[in-house]
Amino acid sequence: MAQITVTTGRIVGQVDRRIFGGFIENEGRAIDGGVYEPESRFADEAGVRIDTRDAIAGLSMPVMRWPGGNFVSAYHWVDGVGPKDARPNRWDPAWGAVERNQFGTDEFMTYCRDLDTEPYLCFNMGTGTLDEAMAWLEYCNGTEDTAWANLRRQHGRDEPYGVKYWGLGNEMWGDFQIGHLTAEEYAAKAKRWALALKRVDPTIQLVACGRDGLHADWDAIVVEALVKYVDWYSMHIYTGSDDHWSNVLQVHQVDRALEYAGALIAGARYRQGVEHPVHITYDEWNTWFATRNDRRRGELVQERHTLSDALAVATYLNIFVRRSDVVKMANIAQVVNVLAPIVTGPDGVLKQAIYHPFAIAAAHTQELAVDAYVDCPRYEHTEEHNDRWEHRVGDLGPFPVLDVAATRSEDGTRLVVSVVNRDPDSEHRVSVVLSDATFAGDVTIRTVSGPHPLATNEWDSPDVVGVSEAGLEGAGQTLEIVVGACTYTQIDAAIGV
Ligand code: AHR
């Protein structure tokens, strides 16, 4: 039998709810046809699809990043404000499509307000200028009688939006990025921008554009140069495979990346005497690149997510919880249609497999991450398989087949244990042992499951991968449950001392 030993008094981090953030980009059908579709019978008078927005609300996202992504590196925000019939069509060189600019800054802000989520905007550091960036910041946050603040007022928004999070570019390290830069060029430019932008609004928090924590040629240079001037360091990761074990185990790359990037940041802060915190935001992460992926231009990356992907997503979230000492924000990429938990169609929305673990974790994860030690079989994936991911030693194990994270409430009355059973063949009997507390009454067990690892939800069978809920009575220090093959199980229990 597997054993999970939880020590509720050993706190490993304060969980920041911003790890359940999202990202939407003007790409494919994410915005046009996803979030915004005036022709849809589900649209309100502003053209916003209410069914999509309701489905996003079910993910309880505290922060939403927009407008890109690669798109932002040629985006001029001015094109997306003012009367809609006067907004220009522009060629989007990132994704090879026409951008109609019908969903811009004001529409995004209204969307965030209605979802009760905080906006996180990203500057165009590709074709954009510093002047344009400062103007956007002033348009959003300006309180004085200035032309940019007045333009916002003219567009019907008297109160400033007070946007707190601003990204200094997107993936500027890649030659696929419009206007990409070397690490040294980026560091110098981002520093100049940061100093100027904080003159416009000193209350903003700036996000440096990182890579993945593992590329010394970018991460080390950029962290060292910018740690004084920014509040966040962003990293991106996409993993994925049609091979189940590879798909779920690749996610552990995050642990290694966090170790490296966390150390880079800690070292740079120490050497330079930087007192303010610089947290990591995984502001793009998800499963992608599977061979089932449809990457045709125009119908971009409308990934069909499997049960295996749902377990990968649950593992990502467990890692963010376990590493909540350094990760204070994460944004699943993306939220609608593109690589997304939510897919839209003429008859409504479809919740893909990955929707369910995200929704459950976002709704029930508690405030404090606590120590959870799992004793169970370990697995190393050595079989040949067809992947797009280049593996190094240790990338695919050995890792415990059960991935576990535990959180408890500040007042110590509630414990939530997330168990991802990546084993496609066997259920496991699990004994959850509390070393310093007892189960004290109601226990809710939520389970995400499906018939096999590659199961997907489709329009004519939307609940193949779904959620079930059961209740138990807990008492004493031990609770025994069985986690089925290929399942995500959340144990949500009342506890006492
Ligand atoms: O989310 C899709 C794309 O992946 C984003 O535009 C880019 O930042 C990343 O490479």
Token code pair at residue 92: 């989007």
Whose tokens are 């939220």? That residue is 335
177 alpha carbon to ligand 1 midpoint, in Å?
10
Q: Could you tell me if 254 and 394 lie in one domain? A: no
The tens-digit pLDDT sequence of the chain (497 residues) is 999 999 999 999 999 999 999 999 999 999 999 999 999 999 999 999 999 999 999 999 999 999 999 999 999 999 999 999 999 999 999 999 999 999 999 999 999 999 999 999 999 999 999 999 999 999 999 999 999 999 999 999 999 999 999 999 999 999 999 999 999 999 999 999 999 999 999 999 999 999 987 777 899 999 999 999 999 999 999 999 889 999 999 999 999 999 999 999 999 999 999 999 999 999 999 998 655 444 444 455 678 899 999 999 999 999 999 999 999 999 999 999 999 999 999 999 999 999 999 999 999 999 999 999 999 999 999 887 777 677 777 789 999 999 999 999 999 999 999 999 999 999 999 999 999 999 999 999 999 999 999 999 999 999 999 999 999 999 999 999 999 999 999 999 999 98
Token code pair at residue 235: 């990293």
Q: How many of the other CB atoms lie within 10 Å of CB of 180?
A: 17
Q: Give yes or no for a contact between 134 and 196, defined as CB atoms under 8 angstroms apart.
A: yes
What is residue 214's predicted lDDT score, i.e. its pLDDT? 76
Atom in ligand 1 nearest the alpha carbon of residue 25: 6
What is the DSSP-derived secondary structure letter of residue 148? H
Dihedral sign, Cα of residue 460, residue 465, residue 467, residue 470: positive
Q: Which residues line ligand 1 (CB under 6 A)?
A: 25, 68-70, 170-171, 284, 333-334
What is residue 388's predicted lDDT score, i.e. its pLDDT? 67
Residue that is last in its domain, among 333, 349, 367: 367
Q: Could you tell me if 358 and 432 lie in one domain? A: no
Say which CATH number the domain at 433 has.
Answer: 2.60.40.1180
Q: Could you tell me if 141 and 34 lie in one domain? A: yes
Active-site residue, 380 included? no
Q: Could you tell me if 293 and 326 lie in one domain? A: yes
Q: Could you tell me if 108 and 220 lie in one domain? A: yes
What is residue 297's predicted lDDT score, i.e. its pLDDT? 45
Nearest protein CA to atom 2 of ligand 1, as residue: 69
Say which CATH number the domain at 163 has.
Answer: 3.20.20.80
Non-local CB neighbours of 290 within 8 Å, separated by 6+ positions: 240, 241, 242, 247, 303, 306, 309
What is residue 91's predicted lDDT score, i.e. its pLDDT? 97
Pairing label, strands 205-209, 232-239: parallel
Active-site residue, 171 included? yes
What is residue 114's predicted lDDT score, i.e. its pLDDT? 98
Question: Would you give the end-to-end CA distance of the chain in angstroms?
Answer: 25
Q: Could you tell me if 324 and 385 lie in one domain? A: no
Residue that is last in its domain, among 367, 397, 422: 367
Q: Give yes or no for a contact between 434 and 416, defined as CB atoms under 8 angstroms apart.
A: no
Q: Could you tell me if 134 and 237 lie in one domain? A: yes
How many whole angstroms separate alpha carbon 277 and alpha carbon 265?
9
pTM, rounded to two decimals: 0.97
- With the most atoms of ligand 1 within 8 angstroms of its CB, the residue from 70, 173, 287 to mutate is 70
Q: Could you tell me if 342 and 442 lie in one domain? A: no
Residue that is last in its domain, among 367, 382, 412: 367
Q: How many of the other CB atoms lie within 10 Å of CB of 214?
A: 16
ipTM for the predicted complex: 0.99
Q: Could you tell me if 353 and 379 lie in one domain? A: no
- Domains of the chain: total: 2
Nearest protein CA to atom 9 of ligand 1, as residue: 69
How many whole angstroms separate alpha carbon 61 and alpha carbon 18?
7
Q: How far is CA 179 from CA 101, 186, 207, 210, 237, in A?
A: 21, 10, 18, 16, 21
Query: Catalytic pick from 37, 99, 138, 284?
Result: 284
Non-local CB neighbours of 195 within 8 Å, separated by 6+ positions: 229
437 alpha carbon to ligand 1 midpoint, in Å?
44
| Domain interval for residue 394 | 2-9+370-496
Residues across the chain: 497
Q: Could you tell me if 347 and 459 lie in one domain? A: no
Atom in ligand 1 nearest the alpha carbon of residue 333: 1
Alpha-helical segments (H) within 201-306: 219-226, 244-249, 253-272
Query: Catalytic pick from 138, 171, 384, 410?
Result: 171
111 alpha carbon to ligand 1 midpoint, in Å?
21
How many whole angstroms separate alpha carbon 104 and alpha carbon 109?
9
Q: Could you tell me if 328 and 460 lie in one domain? A: no
Q: Could you tell me if 360 and 398 lie in one domain? A: no
70 alpha carbon to ligand 1 midpoint, in Å?
6
Q: How far is CA 377 from the centre of its chain?
A: 29
What is residue 294's predicted lDDT score, i.e. its pLDDT? 47
Non-local CB neighbours of 1 within 8 Å, separated by 6+ positions: 428, 429, 430, 431, 480
Q: How far is CA 369 from CA 263, 325, 417, in A?
A: 20, 9, 10
Dihedral sign, Cα of residue 248, residue 249, residue 254, residue 255: positive
How many whole angstroms separate alpha carbon 218 and alpha carbon 5?
39
How many whole angstroms separate alpha carbon 426 and alpha carbon 137?
53
